[in-house]
Structure 1
Amino acid sequence: MEHLIEELKVKIVDILNLPDVTPADIQTDAQLVGGELGIDSIDVLEMVIMIEKDYGVAINNKELGAKVFATLGTLAAYIQEHASELPN
């Protein structure tokens, strides 16, 4: 799962175009949405699209999204549990 977490850090910085943030700045257990990174609901929508496209995993309601996007760790765990096949 560590590889998936590192991959997600890079993708989050890239797709959200976070200024002054590097993948190393994203902590696995830190609050993802509304936390220090400044990720908001529009950013979450972009991440949902990326997750569906890259991993084939749907996050299709707000309650599920709130749980999944709590931290990077919860996001990675959800993807690992629901992806049919993770790229190496």
Structure 2
Amino acid sequence: MPDIDDDTRAVVKQALVDVLEKDLPELTDDTRLFGDLGLDSTSVIDLLMSLEDSVGLLIDPDELTAEAFDTFGTLTGYVASCLAAAQEPVG
């Protein structure tokens, strides 16, 4: 898993704020997206679209797993991995 910088954390938190339409407390890597924040299956789709729009995230549906949405830490790790993969040269 790539290093997760503060910018990535901020982008993911802002996307969660936008999708859930509420202020969020300080998020830790262990904050559960469904249990603690109230994310649901519909908001997952909105969250993915928000991340795609805000950072140009390219999501590979074949690599997307439910585990990516367990916690704030797993989601930021997933986003960081996607961003890192997008920056790798092809070929």
Do the two structures share a fold, i.e. TM-score over 0.5? yes
1:5 matched residue in structure 2:
9
Deviation at 1:45, TM superposition (A): 0.8
- The higher radius of gyration belongs to 2
Q: How many Å separate the matches in 1 of 2:70 and 2:60?
A: 13
Name stretches of at least 5 consecutive residues in structure 2 with no aligned partner.
none
2:19 matched residue in structure 1:
15
1:30 matched residue in structure 2:
31
Runs of 4+ more than 3 Å apart: none
Letter in 2 for 1:8: V
- Secondary structure of 1:67 counterpart: helix
Q: TM-score, normalised by structure 1?
A: 0.71
Name stretches of at least 5 consecutive residues in structure 1 with no aligned partner.
none
Q: How many pairs were matched up? A: 80
- The verdict on how the C-alpha distance between 1:49 and 1:65 changes in structure 2, with shifts beyond 3 A counting, is farther
Which of 1 and 2 has higher RCO (CA within 8 Å, sep 6+)? 2
CA RMSD, 1 decimal: 2.2
Q: How many Å separate the matches in 2 of 1:3 and 1:29?
A: 18
Deviation at 1:47, TM superposition (A): 0.6
- The verdict on how the C-alpha distance between 1:46 and 1:65 changes in structure 2, with shifts beyond 3 A counting, is farther
1:49 matched residue in structure 2:
49
Q: How many Å separate the matches in 2 of 1:23 and 1:9?
A: 10
